[in-house]
Amino acid sequence: MGNRTYTMIKPEAVAAGNSGKIIARIEDGGYKILAMRKVQLSKADAEAFYAVHKERPFYGELTDYMSGGPIVAIALEKDNAVPDFRQFIGATNPQEAEEGTIRKDFGTSLQENAIHASDSDENAEIEIKFFFSVRDLVG
């Protein structure tokens, strides 16, 4: 199992002023921040990042939303990072997320679910590289 994952705080959570609270939860959960930056994605950036969902009916809406305001991009380190972090943030739909998870507390809908998490070690590496160079990652 790899020890890195990629996350981003999504536009509605950044706009609501919840970035700091979410980052504190992530650190309190035992995840080390290797790199972090606030980014405004273009529509083309969002389309490229979510290319895996190109055929899904929500792709257009998702990429409009993700390019609609700044996000905070973060590379994280922890043992077993990918599965642990997915469990830590809660189910994709905030209404189905467990009490006390980031998505439960900060997500507002299936699409506007506050935070992203990589779904495999392979995708974690691809997603980290999308936002950061090797020299940006500081352990």
Asked if 108 touches ligand CMP (CB under 6 A), the answer is no
Which range touches ligand CMP (CB under 6 A), out of 72-80, 98-106, 108-116, 122-130? 108-116
Phi, psi angle pair for 7, to nearest 5°: -135, 160
Asked if 113 touches ligand CMP (CB under 6 A), the answer is yes
- From the list 43, 82, 35, 85, the residue with the least C-alpha distance to 60 is 43
Q: Which of 11, 18, 116, 128 binds ligand CMP (CB under 6 A)?
A: 116
Q: Point out the catalytic residue in the list 7, 81, 116, 132.
A: 116
Cα-to-chain-centroid distance, residue 46:
13
Is 116 catalytic? The answer is yes
Burial profile 113-122: b = 16 or more Cβ within 10 angstroms, e = fewer: bbbbbbeebe
Query: Residue written as tokens 């590379």?
Result: 75
Which range touches ligand CMP (CB under 6 A), out of 20-28, 75-83, 111-119, 126-134? 111-119
d(CA 103, CA 115): 7
Asked if 62 touches ligand CMP (CB under 6 A), the answer is yes
d(CA 43, CA 67): 5
Task: Indicate the residue among 110 and 139 with the shorter CB distance to ligand CMP.
Answer: 110
Q: Across-strand partners of 32?
A: 77
Task: Indicate the residue among 3 and 111 with the shorter CB distance to ligand CMP.
Answer: 111
> What is the DSSP-derived secondary structure letter of residue 110?
S
Asked if 130 touches ligand CMP (CB under 6 A), the answer is no
The residues annotated with a catalytic role in the active site are: 116
For binding to ligand CMP (CB under 6 A), which residues are involved? 53, 58, 62, 92, 110-111, 113, 116-117
